[in-house]
Amino acid sequence: MNININNELLKSGFVQEKIPENINLVEEITRLKREKNAILLAHYYQKPEIQDIADFIGDSLELSRQAAKTDAAVIVFCGVHFMAETAKILSPDKVVLLPAMDAGCPLADTITGDDVKSLKRQHHGSPVVCYINSSAEVKAESDVCCTSSNAIKVVASLPDRKVIFVPDANLGNYVAKQLPDKELILWQGRCVTHAKVKPNDILQMREKYSEAKILAHPECEPAVVELADFVGSTSEIIRYAENSDAQVFIIGTEVGVLCNLRVSRPEKHFFLLHPGLVCPNMKKTGLQSIYEALVNNQYQIHVAEEVAEKAQHAITRMLKVV
């Protein structure tokens, strides 16, 4: 990939990984992948050098679907823990490796399976919809999963008026606005990265780039979403920017998306809505850690059978809705 996002990463204070000079990591990774019958899946928020060598790039659900249908024996999941867990739930017979063991998600970590159980007790009879950005344990206690692109459809598909929505309150608020007939009980979790964007950032960008379209992820706060020209999931933002007639876009989601867009639409101009739109956990995976994951078969993701079965039910139910 000849267009990168290093300027945005540097502005955010992000330090690039130091790669040893005596080894060609890309060549070694390619050789090991062949040797071990492994596939490399990368989320859109991964570093450019990882998106460059990935077999498939996508959002968390697209990647899990890929994981489920691949013939590979080993899946190296370049993303964060809940995503690798989802891949393991959908592909229990495959080895799923997360190269950066500590790549977690602060949003997913705001809630446990016990929290979901107690919410259910509190709001007796109400179904629980959990955003895919949650642990296997939370999915297992939920009735149905959703992603940011299908959350509205999933909630609308439930016959109940009152619905518990976990863990992202901003996404929940967005869904609630689109479905005024529903009463959503929201868990107050937030993505720390998307929550950095404030309405003033949009106002300033509008002043600077009056012709630009401003695209925001629903994990941003409601006042930001309100001011955006388009609101959508990571994949929807990419598709919108690629297909729109506009030439200038302000991207209100993680910086990794710029990498993709600047390659697919080099004639257009893309700017980040806020310099802090860098997920530190997504940037923990590097070429070195992928190489080590393949050499040492690390770090293997395990999900207890009982939890996996229940979590799979919530994911499958979502897949039937959309």
Binding positions for ligand SF4, rule: CB under 6 A: 80, 105-107, 133, 191-194, 254, 279, 281-282
User: Shortest Cβ distance from residue 217 to ligand SF4 (Å)?
Assistant: 9
Residues whose CB falls within 8 Å of the CB of residue 124, separated by 6 or more in sequence, listed in order: none
User: Shortest Cβ distance from residue 133 to ligand SF4 (Å)?
Assistant: 5
User: Shortest Cβ distance from residue 199 to ligand SF4 (Å)?
Assistant: 19
User: Shortest Cβ distance from residue 58 to ligand SF4 (Å)?
Assistant: 14
User: Shortest Cβ distance from residue 118 to ligand SF4 (Å)?
Assistant: 23
CA distance 44 to 83: 12
Q: Which tokens hold the place of 291?
A: 């190489």
Residues whose CB falls within 8 Å of the CB of residue 263, separated by 6 or more in sequence, listed in order: 1, 2, 3
CB nearer ligand SF4, residue 103 or residue 307? 103
According to DSSP, the residues that pair with 42 across neighbouring strands are 57, 78
User: Shortest Cβ distance from residue 34 to ligand SF4 (Å)?
Assistant: 30
Count of CA atoms in the C-beta half-sphere (13 A) of 275: 9
Q: Phi and psi dihedrals of 165, rounded to 5? A: -125, 125
CB nearer ligand SF4, residue 102 or residue 183? 102
Q: DSSP secondary structure string, 13-25?
A: TPPPPPPPTTS-H
User: Shortest Cβ distance from residue 131 to ligand SF4 (Å)?
Assistant: 9
CB nearer ligand SF4, residue 25 or residue 261? 261
CB nearer ligand SF4, residue 72 or residue 255? 255
CB nearer ligand SF4, residue 110 or residue 126? 110
Closest CA to 288 of 13, 81, 16, 6: 16
Q: Which tokens hold the place of 275?
A: 């310099």
- Kindly list the distances between the CA atom of residue 2 and the CA atoms of 5, 27, 29, 120, 260, in Å, as whole numbers in the listed order: 10, 18, 20, 50, 11
DSSP code for 129: E
CB nearer ligand SF4, residue 141 or residue 219? 219
User: Shortest Cβ distance from residue 266 to ligand SF4 (Å)?
Assistant: 26
Closest CA to 60 of 45, 70, 75, 71: 45
CB nearer ligand SF4, residue 91 or residue 285? 285
CB nearer ligand SF4, residue 126 or residue 149? 149
3: left (phi over 0), alpha (psi -120 to 50) or beta: beta
Residues whose CB falls within 8 Å of the CB of residue 284, separated by 6 or more in sequence, listed in order: 100, 102, 103
